[in-house]
Amino acid sequence: MRDLVKKFGAVVAANDINVDISKGEIVGIIGANGAGKTCFVNMVTGYLPPTAGSIKFEGEELVGLETRKITHAGISRSFQVSQVFHSMTVGENLMIALAIANNRALDALSLMDTPELRSKLDNVLNRYKLNAQKDITVSALAQGVRKLLDIAMAVVSKPRILLLDEPTSGISVEEKFDFMDIVMGALKEDGVTVLFVEHDMEIVARYVSRVLAFYQGEIIADMPPKKALADKKVQEFVIGKEHHKKKK
């Protein structure tokens, strides 16, 4: 990403963002509310067009591309509020995701329910430990399972980069690590580059290899997690001094 800027009138949500992400990295995006984290994810995935700047992935310019074209390019995402099909079961949600990933254009006029897709569905259900919920309608599911489904749906298109927007929000403290173990375990198997927005510093410290700390639309720190969490700027503007004192 080069010289990325996003303005909403007088409000600058992203200012002069310059960052390179290498293949296979697990990057944590941290920052206080309104720091520009979700805005960053939205720009990369085409939900928001940047006011200025460039986003390139494997040489291809992504700015100006429609969201689905960005998905085709190999970038996928999950959402802070899980975006799934509420009136369908977990199995049906994943079948649609698999069908779209496998049957683009006119192939979409072939039958969806095939033995090949069923076998792929079983594989995804196993990897994301969603077997028990396969036939349950999404509206009846707990928040954590919906989040897991949201991520599983984003992954079936085999993206090379996956952006997760606050994957553990709305999940109880006891369940957070189990949840992240399932997700990160499956993603590591696939060798996906992952960028995830997170408020929980314990999650960040445990799973990421690099931290991008946002403050008022700018990246104020870009370093390994241990160093970032000890950084004065990060402590003051992201974690908060009180948190730092408590830890001491």
Partner 1 sequence: MFNDKTSKFLLVAGLLLILGGAFAPNWIVNQFMFGFSRALAILGLMVLWRTGLVSFGHAFYFGLGAYAVAILDIKLGVTDVFLRLIAGALVAGTAGFLVGFIMRNYRDIFFAMLNTAISMVLFGIVVKTEALGSTDGFAISMSTILGVSPETKYPLFVIITLVGMVSAILVNYYLKTTFGKLTTAIRDNEIRVEYLGFSVAHAIHLKYSISAILAGGAGALMAMSLGQVDPESMINWTVSGELVFITILSGPGNVIAPFIGSLVFEVLRTYAFELAPQAWQLIMGATFLTIIFFIPGGIWSVLEKIGGKKNDK
Which residues contribute to the site for partner 1 (CB under 8 A)? Answer: 45, 66-68, 71-72, 76-77, 79, 83-88, 92, 95-97, 99-101, 103-104, 107-113, 153-154, 157
Count Cα neighbours of 152 within 13 Å in the Cβ-side half-sphere.
30
Cα 146 from Cα 211, distance rounded (Å) = 26
- DSSP 8-state symbol, 5: E
CB count in 10 Å sphere of residue 103: 16
- For partner 1, the closer CB: 38 or 71: 71
Nearer to partner 1, 110 or 126 (CB): 110
Min CB(72)–partner 1 separation in Å: 6
Closest to partner 1 by CB, 78 vs 168, is 78
Per the CB < 8 A criterion, the answer to whether 98 and 91 are in contact is no
Least spacing, CB of residue 212 vs partner 1, in Å: 22
Question: Is the Cβ of residue 100 or residue 223 nearer to partner 1 in the bound state?
Answer: 100
Closest separation in Å from C-beta 44 to partner 1: 12
How far apart CA 225 and CA 103 sit, in angstroms, is 40
Rounded Cα distance, 55 and 49, in Å: 11
Q: Which is nearer to partner 1, 40 or 237 (CB)?
A: 40
Q: How far is the CB of 214 from partner 1 (least distance, A)?
A: 23
Distance in Å, CB of 64 to partner 1, minimum: 16
Shortest Cβ 42–partner 1 spacing (Å): 11
Contact between 204 and 224 (Cβ < 8 Å): no
Rg for the chain, CA atoms, rounded: 19
CA angle 76, 77, 81 (to 5 degrees): 160
Q: What is the largest CA-CA distance in the chain?
A: 61
CA 192 to chain centre: 11
The residue among 1 and 153 lying less far from partner 1, judged by its C-beta, is: 153
